[in-house]
């Protein structure tokens, strides 16, 4: 007699992945005899058959015991296989019915619309199934657990926040310059490598990284990554090295992002007016939601959206009005104003300014990106950049390095970012209302950021390739690359026409922001009835980029204050209390002084080059801490969820770090006028790399020991 087991084909977990037992079947409920093809025998008949075959009840009970012990592993295997097959089949359908396959061709250009649809489909499937599996099986999110926001409620930092308001804060905090300019710069390699990495990286690495760290922080009373590292790895050295690494990286990030904002808003009364308007609007929303009309989020949202829309519309007319001097500032003045805003956003109650403003900004951010996605679907722009370019082998005018590892370092936040771990263990865990909100906030925000990155990539790739390089490469440097670009077939240019349409010169405006604004404006102006608004959309995109980045600075300053208070609390205990006002004021002042000084003096340019590698090394640290958390919770069989992305990100980033040291920093040490720049970047890079090695050195023995026991 030949017996095989079958399970309920309804696959209820597709609708309810949070249920802990998606394959709730008993191995004796149904079976089929392969020999004669008869239908499943009854439960009793099967028992009788097995007793006859085994020759006695003892063997029968032994068989039942073996089956019962293996039942959970069988269910888990079927769970993973069924999900995998479903995702593969659906993804194959999407790819088969789009022109994505043709993008593998070296010179073939494709329509951008299928890329948008494919990305949306894969992100939706990943959120629904893969992260449903992680929430249920790996992290076992449980709404019966009290969260830090309710246990430590203080009306200042620990405040239970609506899921959507907190999503807005989290998304605004993590989505800075990276998802906008990183993919644009990586477009030098061709659009296809960046597109694939943003899809795979956002699902398999970035969102996993954010979700695991946010969960760990919520269950560690909202503590920082450094505290979680010390408690989960069990070594003081891990906590200290994580503290040093996180504080260095967040200060450099605040200074670098702040410099981008200052450069974007300098002498721009339209952008300054619109962004400044979000502050009183956010305060009004906070008072409305939390004091005047408690819980009326929809009302506050409508008020905020209407006022923000008016601010954007009115802002266009500010430059030609008598009010222009009120909002027209130089770099130095803007730096001081930005530092003042960062200080107050760090000190004031989180419900009054920070969360409402980030929520309001996220509405605008996601609204513009949704408009851009819709515009791409309607306009169906052609991806004029090749799928791959010869620069994948290195020697490019935008990024000198090779595809591996510099593609992954350049895209950064569009797929995974260590900075996200600071937000996920900083402000957000102190406002989570229930654990079921972790998935939509952490995963939803990361996948949304991945979608932003893909939109930025498409906007840049829709430009003529020669125009792309004319904008992103200085004129004196481009002269040496023009023959090579022409050999690649990049001979056509619409740059004079584009400059006439936007009303200013854009050639040689490096950094990615300007080419993104031109690409976005080109798509928006291609919509019906928008043909004469190219200049408006260009300046709107520049203002939008500044708004996009600014929201990272206010949340980052508050997170840096938390980290600094934890460090100072070891010397003087009251500093560790986040509700102690003197500690808040002192720590916020020190943090703002650090990053404000770097912007004001312009010295941030000396340390910004190492930020890309350092940021990804921090992601490696966070994934190592997340792996320790999963193993310590008795889930060693699921440690692959974080181990795989940790290994890949660690290898690529260490490779980039070593290549930077050999190819950039050491040569700078040998040049007299660049010695200080090279020395600073070399020291900071080595410190971060040493931090990663220390944490892995402490964690690996514990992983091996606990895996053996489990």
The tokens of 305 are what? 């959206």
Tokens matching residue 633: 């919770």
Give residue-wise pLDDT tens across range 209-266: 999 999 999 999 999 998 999 999 887 777 788 888 888 888 888 888 887 788 778 7
pLDDT at 297: 86
pLDDT at position 5 over 80:
no
Closest CA to 556 of 623, 611, 617, 630: 611
Q: Is pLDDT above 90 for 159?
A: yes
Whole-number Cα distances in Å, 68 to 25, 35, 76, 185: 11, 25, 14, 55
Q: Mean pLDDT across the chain, nearest whole number?
A: 83
Q: Is the pLDDT of residue 161 over 70?
A: yes
**CATH assignment of 98-157+164-266+329-459+548-700, among 1.20.1740, 3.30.70, 3.40.50, 3.30.110:** 1.20.1740
Please say if the pLDDT value at position 283 is more than 80: yes
Collapsing DSSP to helix, strand or coil, 4 comes out as: strand
What are the φ/ψ torsions at residue 3 (nearest 5 degrees)? -120, 135
pLDDT tens column, 666-679: 998 988 888 888 88
- Residue 386 burial by CB count (10 A; 0-12/13-18/19+): exposed, middle or buried? buried
Contacts of 650 (CB under 8 A, 6+ apart): 617, 620, 623, 692, 696
* The pTM of the whole model exceeds 0.85: no
The full DSSP string for 451-498 is HHHHHHHHHHHTS-HHHHHHHHS-HHHHHHHHHHHHHTT-----HHHH
pLDDT of residue 606: 65
**How many other C-beta atoms are found inside a 10 Å radius of the C-beta of residue 549?**
23
| DSSP code at position 361 | H
Rounded average pLDDT over 393-408: 92
What is the rounded CA–CA span in Å between residue 87 and residue 131? 13
Least confident of 12-16, 75-79, 464-468, 632-636: 12-16
Percent of the chain whose pLDDT exceeds 90: 45
Please, which residues have CB within 8 angstroms of residue 18's CB and are 6 or more apart in sequence? 132, 135, 136, 141, 436
pLDDT value of position 452: 93
**8-state DSSP, 45:** H
Distance in angstroms between the alpha carbons of the first and the last residue of the chain: 36
pLDDT at 46 over 50: no
Binned at pLDDT 50, 70 and 90, residue 22 comes out as very low
Is a pLDDT exceeding 60 seen at residue 482?
yes
Q: Which residue has the higher pLDDT, 50 or 277?
A: 277
Query: What is residue 293's DSSP assignment?
Result: S
**Residue 609 exposed, middle or buried by CB count within 10 Å (0-12, 13-18, 19+):** buried
Band of residue 504 on the pLDDT scale cut at 50, 70, 90: confident
pLDDT in tens, 63-96: 455 455 455 545 554 554 455 455 445 444 444 4
> Where exactly are the structural domains of the chain?
3-75, 98-157+164-266+329-459+548-700
- The tokens describing 605, both together, are 């340019």
């Amino acid at each position: 007699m030949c017996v095989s087991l079958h399970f309920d084909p309804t696959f209820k977990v597709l609708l309810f992945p949070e249920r802990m037992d998606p394959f709730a079947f008993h191995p004796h409920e149904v079976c089929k005899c392969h020999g004669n093809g008869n239908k499943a025998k009854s439960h009793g008949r099967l028992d009788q058959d097995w007793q006859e075959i085994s020759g006695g009840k003892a063997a029968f009970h032994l068989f039942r015991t073996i089956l019962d012990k293996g039942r959970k592993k069988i269910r888990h295997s079927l769970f993973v296989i069924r999900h995998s097959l479903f995702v593969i089949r659906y993804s194959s359908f999407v790819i088969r019915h789009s022109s994505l396959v043709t993008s593998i061709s070296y010179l073939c250009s494709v329509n951008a619309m299928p890329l948008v649809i494919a990305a949306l489909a894969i992100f939706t499937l990943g959120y629904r199934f893969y992260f449903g599996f992680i929430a249920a099986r790996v992290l076992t999110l449980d709404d019966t657990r009290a969260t830090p926001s309710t246990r430590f409620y203080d009306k200042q930092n620990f405040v239970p926040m609506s899921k959507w308001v907190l999503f807005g804060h989290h998304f605004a905090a993590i989505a800075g310059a990276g998802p906008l300019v990183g993919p644009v710069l990586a477009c030098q390699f061709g659009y296809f490598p960046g597109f694939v990495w943003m899809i795979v990286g956002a699902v398999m690495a970035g969102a996993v990284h954010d979700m695991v760290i946010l969960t760990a922080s919520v269950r560690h009373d909202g503590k920082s990554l450094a505290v979680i590292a010390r408690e989960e790895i069990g070594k003081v050295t891990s906590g200290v090295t994580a503290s040093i690494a996180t504080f260095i990286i967040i200060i450099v990030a605040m200074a670098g992002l702040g410099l981008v904002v200052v450069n974007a808003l300098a002498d721009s009364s339209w952008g300054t007016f619109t962004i400044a308007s979000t502050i009183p609007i956010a305060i009004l929303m906070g008072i409305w939601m939390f004091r005047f009309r408690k819980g009326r989020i929809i009302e506050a949202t409508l008020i905020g959206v209407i006022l923000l829309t008016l601010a954007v519309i009115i802002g266009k007319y500010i430059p030609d009005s008598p009010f222009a001097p009120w909002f027209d500032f130089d770099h130095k003045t803007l730096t001081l104003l930005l530092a003042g805003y960062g200080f107050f956003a760090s000190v004031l109650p989180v419900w009054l300014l920070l969360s409402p403003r980030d929520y309001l900004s996220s509405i605008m951010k996601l609204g513009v990106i949704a408009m851009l996605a819709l515009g791409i679907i309607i306009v169906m722009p052609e991806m004029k950049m090749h799928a791959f370019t010869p620069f994948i082998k290195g020697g490019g005018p935008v990024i000198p390095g090779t595809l591996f590892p510099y593609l992954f370092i350049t895209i950064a936040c569009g797929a995974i970012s260590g900075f996200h771990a600071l937000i996920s263990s900083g402000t957000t865990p102190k406002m989570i209302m229930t654990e079921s909100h972790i998935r939509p906030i952490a995963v939803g925000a990361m996948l949304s950021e991945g979608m932003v990155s893909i939109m930025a990539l498409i906007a840049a790739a829709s430009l003529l390739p020669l125009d792309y390089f004319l904008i992103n490469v200085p004129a004196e440097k481009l002269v040496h690359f023009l023959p090579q670009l022409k050999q690649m077939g990049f001979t056509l240019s619409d740059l004079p026409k584009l400059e006439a349409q936007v009303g200013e010169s854009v050639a040689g405006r490096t950094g990615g922001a300007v080419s993104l604004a031109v690409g976005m404006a080109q798509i928006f102006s291609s919509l019906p009835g928008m043909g004469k608004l190219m200049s408006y959309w260009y300046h709107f995109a520049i203002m939008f980029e500044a708004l996009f980045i600014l929201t990272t600075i206010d949340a980052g300053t508050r997170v840096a204050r938390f980290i600094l208070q934890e460090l100072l609390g070891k010397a003087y205990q009251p500093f560790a209390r986040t509700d102690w006002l003197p500690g808040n004021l002192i720590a916020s002042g020190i943090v703002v002084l650090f990053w404000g000084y770097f912007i004001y003096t312009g010295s941030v340019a000396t340390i910004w080059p190492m930020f890309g590698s350092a940021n990804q090394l921090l992601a490696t640290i966070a994934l190592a801490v997340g792996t320790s958390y999963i193993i310590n919770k008795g889930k060693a069989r699921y440690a692959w969820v974080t181990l795989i992305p940790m290994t890949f990100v660690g290898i690529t980033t260490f490779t980039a770090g070593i290549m930077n040291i050999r190819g950039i920093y050491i040569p700078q040490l040998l040049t007299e006028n660049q010695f200080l720049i090279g020395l600073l970047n070399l020291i900071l890079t080595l410190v971060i790399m040493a931090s990663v090695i220390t944490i892995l050195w402490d964690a690996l023995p514990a992983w091996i020991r606990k895996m053996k026991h489990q």
